[in-house]
Structure 1
């Protein structure tokens, strides 16, 4: 069974973040620049929240707030649901489904070591299923 550490080994452990007192506009620009859907909200090395495009749409746009005047801490999700490198892809998929989240920070010994998205998890499941199908086809054929 694939674990989070295997996903991070393939995709890398690059982390994009924003400070809680930064304006939402800065967070949206960072997400656009890196074509990502969420940013970790960090106070130094401490994970204090996560902010997503969904948070922006629901808590800024729909409420008529200003993205340049609203600090990230006002719209971020906190506390953050996180996983550790030893967690399985299945565990993460269930967590995303049950909690209705799309991004999971990966935390090891209190330190953020990466982020996995629902897209990363789906890609891993598809790859694993493809390998299993190929194995079964070879078994049946031969």
Structure 2
């Protein structure tokens, strides 16, 4: 099946990130501008966490906090689930299901090389199933 590296090859190589001391409002603004649901939190070259729309809704909105006065580090998810570029799509789907997350940072060595979303994973599964269906149809017609 498809690997994370193959998924990343089909995506923009750009990874969107903010610093831990950035205001939450700036991270949310970046997500809105880029049309994404999460940003990585990078402390220099080190992956420190991830901030998602879910973090914002649960830790700012529901707690009546100020997104202008709250640093990203205060609400980010620091306990990260990551994958390497060689991970299989099925393994990634199991991780997002088990951990109830929507985004997986892709790390090679100590460097972040991308982010995949649950949407990327579902699309890969659908594409693989479509390809298999086409092969089966060709086999039936030829046989």
TM-score, normalised to structure 2's length?
0.98
* Structure 2: 5+ residue stretches without partners: none
Q: Distance in 2 between matches of 1:13 and 1:119?
A: 17
Aligned to 1:21: 21
How many residues align? The count is: 142
Aligned to 2:92: 92
Aligned to 1:106: 106
Residue 77 (structure 1) shift: 0.3
Aligned to 2:55: 55
Aligned to 2:116: 116
Residue 83 in structure 1 maps to residue 83 in structure 2 = yes
Q: Distance in 1 between matches of 2:131 and 2:102?
A: 25
What per-residue deviation string (whole Å, max 9, x for no partner) do you get for residues 42-94 of structure 1? 00110000000000000000000000001100100012110000000000000
Q: Distance in 2 between matches of 1:130 and 1:122?
A: 12
What per-residue deviation string (whole Å, max 9, x for no partner) do you get for residues 89-115 of structure 1? 000000000000000000001100000
Alignment check: 8 A CA contact 1:102 1:117 kept: yes
Aligned to 2:128: 128
Q: Distance in 1 between matches of 2:113 and 2:73?
A: 22
TM-score, normalised to structure 1's length?
0.98
Q: Distance in 1 between matches of 2:35 and 2:109?
A: 29
Q: Distance in 2 between matches of 1:13 and 1:136?
A: 34
**Which 4+ runs in 1 deviate beyond 6 A?**
none
Aligned to 2:40: 40
Aligned to 2:6: 6
